[in-house]
Structure 1
Amino acid sequence: MPETQLNVRIAFVGGGNMARSLIGGLVRQGMAPSLIAVAEPNAELREALSRDFGVGVHAEGAAAAAGAAVILLAVKPQVMRTVCESLQPAVQAQAPLLISIAAGIRIDQLEHWCGGSVAVVRSMPNTPALVGAGASGLCANAQVSAVQRGQAETILGAAGLAVWIDEEAQMDVVTALSGSGPAYFFLLVEALEDAAVAQGLPRDAARALATQTALGAGRMLREDGEAPAVLRQRVTSPGGTTQAALDSFAASGLRETVARAVAAATERGRELAAKSEG
């Protein structure tokens, strides 16, 4: 990480699993724990964050946010408005970069709740960030400077991949793809395991093989650099076992099923944003 991006004070409002994964990633990459403050109402979580990472902890958001150049909001969408309004004095006085990782909360809502004229980055990380393999989409408003974009990318990139999205309207698609996506793959592995057991394979062997197959395929996608279609074709011999399985998937309308699922998740993200307006 560039030195200019490390030497700023960062406040995390919310100290749950996702905040913990980002904090852990930043500390492992060399950020001084003294520059990180966390607001978390749960005393047990506060103590664990302090003990494990050496960061400053507070019960209230305003206390953690004092003097911060970056405030990362890691709270549930249902309480985001209340949290933002409580932080409004600090945000207006300090003009920090505001980063939200809440699904369905739009940039204009965050700006309004924090008093207006705020540099905001909306992000959608996913749960593999907990093991340092996350994927986060990021979208910035016009007030975000180049330096602040670098700060946001550094923070979200501490737990995996960070990708910029130009149009905020597409963040609902990001939520449906990478935000919810791990559950789709867990379901596929679950189905593969159950199918192998139904064919007579012991469950422990079925789970181990299905899990490692998913991991290996994912690594090939990242490391080989070829399109998924190319990699699929490489392992599909005409008339072979893979072709038989793929033909069955096609006959069952797998692509159409996935398209409907992603569309449903995208629409739900839009509904969440509509419900949180105010």
Structure 2
Amino acid sequence: MNSPETGSASSPGGGSVEGEPVLRLSGVGKSFNGVTVLDDVSLEVPRGRFVALTGPSGAGKSTLLRLANGMHLPDRGTVSTLGEDPAACSRSRLRALRARVGFVFQQFGLVGRLSAMENVLMGALATLRLPRYGVMSYPRALRVRAVEQLDRVGLADQRFQRCDTLSGGQQQRVAVARTLLQSPELILADEPVASLDPAASVLVLDTLKRISTEDGISVLCSLHQVELALTTADQIVALRDGHLILNEPATTLTPARLHEIYTPTGEADA
């Protein structure tokens, strides 16, 4: 199994440093109600890389993503996210860590009756002291940044349109723009194109890839679509039955090899 090279270790203050992986799992195990979901998983996500997380349903992909930002805590092993161990963080420190980690969900997580602009601005709520009602209640600097991020995902002209009138692909790009407003150092995306048609899927993933390249943001994105993983990702990781079974540069893989990940073990060995 290939493993990315890493640079220097964490800084004394606990924050991430140049060359250090933005995410490191070491011997991680996680079970729910006695059922093992992840078993002895070790993985590093380098800074500025787009990593596709593949594998059959139930392989542990969503659990791994939630371990990365402290939504779940490991039963065994350790997790280091941007130089922090979520399991060891106080509530305030965990909030601060999550502010540096963007999360893009399959179901968008938007408020349909609000405009694209206001949904993007909601990405800054964790940094504001008081509740906000309406676009104009946000500081002007944030409104300018929100328009900039919508422009980056190709939706500046739709910024005042209600989100429930946008297509699924457009809504997911609004969700990406909202994440970008956080200025994240790591983006976790959980099946972000599972509910989209092929054309919209390509557009959303191309947007994430471009932003990853332009801003040096690491992306860990779970995907079922083999061809999209191969054309988008720098690195491909695969889970099956809770085990890490593949970790290679996308350029060394073929569709046939990656499709094998989805073949039941008995059939593959037959």
Query: TM-score by structure 1 length?
Result: 0.28
Please say which structure displays the higher CA radius of gyration: 1
Q: Which has the higher helix share?
A: 1
- 1 or 2 for the larger relative contact order (CA 8 Å, sep ≥6)? 2
Higher share of residues assigned strand:
2
| TM-score (normalizing by structure 2) | 0.29
